[in-house]
């Protein structure tokens, strides 16, 4: 997928859909610990978005898997608000958080905050990179706010109106 993105060869199959059923369908697939609760606050007031359903599903899966991984006990909350012609989604957790020095690198491909062989949290470190590029392909953006010991809040925007997507090369 990363190679297709970088080559500009990943077409979007845009359709309109609600986020709540999509996010709720992932709850059984995400390995939340026994002490972690997923809350989804996407009621009927949250408008439908336009996007590639499969890619948006994978974006949520990547971000929720990270939240589950770094929140061994606590809460993961998904909310959304309309911001102009975009829907701003927030996935917040009460997990371990990310230090200021690591925040600027977490969207880099294959980056792990703890990159050692004996690290506590496993994974290739590509999920957030792909998610960022998929969101940008939809015309949105992804950013994070975090404090060590107090959790993280991942924000991203997705379009509320049909989009004409042109194949373009995204910054690596």
pLDDT in tens, 118-172: 334 444 468 899 999 899 989 999 999 999 999 999 999 999 988 644 333 333 3
Name residues whose C-beta falls within 8 Å of residue 67's C-beta, 6 or more positions apart in sequence. 76, 91, 93, 95, 152, 154
The string over 140-154, giving b where at least 16 C-beta atoms fall within 10 Å of a residue's C-beta and e elsewhere, is bebebebeeeebbbb
* 7 SS3 class: helix
Three-state DSSP at 67 gives helix
pTM for the whole structure: 0.84
pLDDT band at residue 3, thresholds of 50, 70 and 90?
Answer: low
90: pLDDT strictly greater than 60: yes
In degrees to the nearest 10, what's the CA dihedral of 12, 131, 32, 154?
-120
Instruction: Provide the pLDDT confidence category of residue 109 given band limits of 50, 70 and 90.
Output: low
């Amino acid at each position: 997928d990363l190679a297709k993105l970088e080559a500009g060869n990943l077409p979007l199959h845009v359709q309109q859909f609600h986020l709540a059923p999509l996010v709720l369908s992932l709850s059984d697939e995400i390995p939340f610990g026994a002490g972690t609760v997923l809350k989804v606050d996407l009621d009927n007031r949250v408008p439908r978005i336009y996007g590639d359903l499969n890619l948006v599903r994978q974006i949520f899966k990547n971000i929720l898997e990270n939240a589950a991984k770094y929140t061994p006990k606590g809460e993961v909350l998904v909310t959304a608000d309309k911001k102009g012609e975009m829907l701003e989604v927030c996935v917040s957790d009460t997990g371990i958080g990310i230090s200021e020095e690591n925040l600027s690198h977490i969207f880099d491909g294959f980056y792990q905050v703890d990159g050692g062989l004996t690290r506590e949290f496993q994974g290739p470190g590509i999920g957030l990179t792909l998610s960022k590029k998929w969101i940008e392909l939809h015309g949105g953006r992804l950013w994070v706010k975090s404090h060590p010991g107090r959790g993280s809040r991942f924000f991203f925007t997705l379009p509320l109106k049909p989009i004409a997507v042109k194949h373009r090369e995204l910054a690596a």
